[in-house]
Amino acid sequence: MLVFSAQELAYLAVPKTGTTAVELTLRRKADIIFTKRRKHLPAKKFHKKIAPFLAAEFDIHPERIAVMRDPEEQIRSWFRYRTSAELRGSDRQTEGLSFDQFVLDVISENPPAHARIGSQFNFLTGSGGAVLVHRLFAYERQPLFRAFLEERFGEELSFGQKNVSPMVDAPLSPDVRARLRAARAEEFALYDRMMDAGGVLVSKIEA
């Protein structure tokens, strides 16, 4: 997570949406940087804890922005990341596992360690499913996100590919895809809302 007082922005880092590239490009401009275990601070915690602190202590009321990825592709990115050699021998490693099985593990009632990845919907929303970021950008519409940041920062920005997951074939059967969409219906619905809005979903946030 990055907070920029001059630009009145707070970037909330949704996992597997290109966050490392954004952080490396913009961190030198940030006033507050959350890294390591605090990097992926959910919107609910920001809303309840960080936003009131920034307002009370610094009179900063940043516009919250985040990026959301196609839910199936975001899960596929997790799967590929966890095939990496650095996780070999860990209970989070997925080498030798099919993507179908990984998805079934993700949506099970008690996911095993390798399938505990959270959800973008839970990251971005609060009670009642209210979206807790002012602008939600589609990962698949990168030029929109970059153009917004360039306008706000007043300069051209370049985001290279960083922390790229291994390229592993990860097909998903129609049956398991249907089960995934049913299990994560709210997340797919939020993604569809964003795409129907042209790739940027603008929301009002109640205090």
Domain-located, residue 34: yes
Q: What is the pTM of this model?
A: 0.93
pLDDT digits (tens, 9 = 90+) for 156-184: 998 866 656 667 889 999 999 999 999 99
Torsion of CA 158, 41, 201, 122, to 10 degrees: 140
Say which CATH number the domain at 50 has. 3.40.50
Domain-located, residue 168: yes
Structure tokens belonging to residue 46? 């920001």
- The range of the structural domain enclosing residue 59 comes to 2-202
The one-digit pLDDT tens for each residue of the chain (207 residues) are: 999 999 999 999 999 999 999 999 999 999 999 988 889 999 999 999 999 999 999 999 999 999 999 999 999 999 999 887 566 667 677 878 999 999 999 999 999 999 999 999 999 999 889 999 999 999 999 999 999 999 999 999 988 666 566 678 899 999 999 999 999 999 999 999 999 999 999 999 976
Domain-located, residue 39: yes
Domain-located, residue 207: no
Cβ neighbours of 179 (radius 10 Å): 15
Phi and psi at residue 137, in whole multiples of 5°? -100, 145
Domain-located, residue 20: yes
pLDDT digits (tens, 9 = 90+) for 4-14: 999 999 999 99
Domain-located, residue 108: yes
Task: Work out how many domains the chain is built from and give that number.
Answer: 1
